[in-house]
Amino acid sequence: MFLSLLIICSSSGVILAGVNMITSEPIALSKAQALKEAIRKVTPDFDNNPLEDAYKAATFNGDTLLIYPATKDGKLVGVAVDSDTKKGFSGEIKVIVGFDPEGILINYSVLQHAETPGLGSKMEQWFRTDKNKQSVIGRSLADGELVVSKDGGDVDAITASTISSRAFLNAINRAYSAYKGTGMGTDSQTGASKQKGGNQ
């Protein structure tokens, strides 16, 4: 009986290892392609491979984020920054944010969140909607970090979702501080400068 179980377990282990070897590369390629598409959505057209040119940069908190430079004919046209925050109403929020070389926010995409459906989950569209002070698209973060109106800033929070809104903007601000700290933008000061009250 013991020998039979041993053979079955050993066989299962070999099969699982084989399946893992066969599927790991396609899964990795699929993830890389999805990431490249996300980068394409938030940056101008590029002809390099941002994944190969990626590097890490420190935020105003001292932790690091991945930055994907987008170049065209050898010239930097923008960057995509993989950012996150654990300050969401329901936990972590992950975003990818695109900036041009001057620090103008080109676009963003929410990669992951667990915010309340119909409330915090509206962040994917809310902050790109050209209504009142909702949109963050086209804003220059060189002028200071993005802050919700309730906290003295000029960004309208999602209705009944101030915590989610603060968290989303925190992720955007972290992304910019990492990019600014690299010296690739027009302002090469450290990420701690020009922040209204530091980290939210």
Q: What is the largest CA-CA distance in the chain?
A: 73
**What is the pLDDT confidence band of residue 51, given thresholds at 50, 70 and 90?**
very high
Q: Residues 95-116: pLDDT tens digits?
A: 999 999 999 999 999 999 999 8
In whole angstroms, how far apart are CA 37 and each of 14, 169, 175, 199, 200?
35, 23, 18, 30, 30
Q: Which residues lie across from 155 on neighbouring strands?
A: 148
Distance CA 107, CA 178 (A): 16
Q: Is the pTM here over 0.75, yes or no?
A: yes
Q: What is the pLDDT of residue 157?
A: 96
Distance CA 133, CA 64 (A): 30
Most confident of the following: 17-21, 34-38, 119-123:
119-123
